[in-house]
Amino acid sequence: MIKQEILRLLEKSYASFSDEIEVLNEIEFRQVAHGKWNASQHADHLNRSLLPLIIALKLPLLLTRMIFGKARRVSLSNEELVARYQAKIASGSKAVHPFIPSKFAFKSKESLLKKLDSNIKSLLQQLQKFQEEQFDEIMLPHPILEKITLREMLYFTIYHAEHHRNLLLKNLEN
């Protein structure tokens, strides 16, 4: 997947997630099934997950390479990356601090969504400065997948919004 397609899918996946939350009434917003997260927790988790990525992309490239290294392998495809993540989740991996979300009141719905929109815009803006080949050179840490390339991190970030949108919808069905 090329840079422009990745950027388009990032924007689309987070807009789709936000659209689902935007239409929820207070009961749906607070609904929790079987100890799972409510809508506010899904939104907060996505916000918490985006922040370290945005910060890492703001660092000078030389510093990023000094801290995390340079890729010495080919990036996984989107399908391979998602399968690897799903296998980790199936084997029991879960969100860890600082990615464990807080619960928010219904009156916070608009501010949570504004923050998510702001974070995605910031991420997209940061990504504009990178060339296509850098997506496969830059390494970044992931709490479950360990060190992955920027391209893989972006594949994950797209999938992550879709994953939480699906969890939210499943919760609402129950």
Q: Which pLDDT value is given to residue 35? A: 81
Question: Around Cβ 156, how many Cβ atoms within 10 Å?
Answer: 23
pLDDT surpasses 90 at 98: yes
Q: Determine the Cα–Cα distance for residues 72 and 20; give it in Å rounded to an integer.
A: 39
The pLDDT score that the predictor gives to residue 25 is 97
Q: What is the pLDDT of residue 47?
A: 98
Q: What percent of the chain has a predicted confidence (pLDDT) above 70?
A: 100
Name the residue among 174, 159, 173, 172 with its Cα closest to residue 16: 159
Query: Do residues 155 and 38 lie in contact, with contact meaning Cβ atoms separated by under 8 Å?
Result: no
> What is the pLDDT confidence band of residue 34, given thresholds at 50, 70 and 90?
confident
Question: What pLDDT does 133 receive?
Answer: 96
CA distances from 154 to 33, 148, 149, 174 (A): 29, 10, 9, 31
pTM of the model: 0.95
pLDDT recorded at residue 46: 98
Mean pLDDT along residues 90-97: 93
Write out pLDDT tens, residues 111-153. Answer: 999 999 999 999 999 999 999 999 999 999 999 999 999 999 9
Q: Does the 3-173 domain belong in CATH 3.40.50.300?
A: no
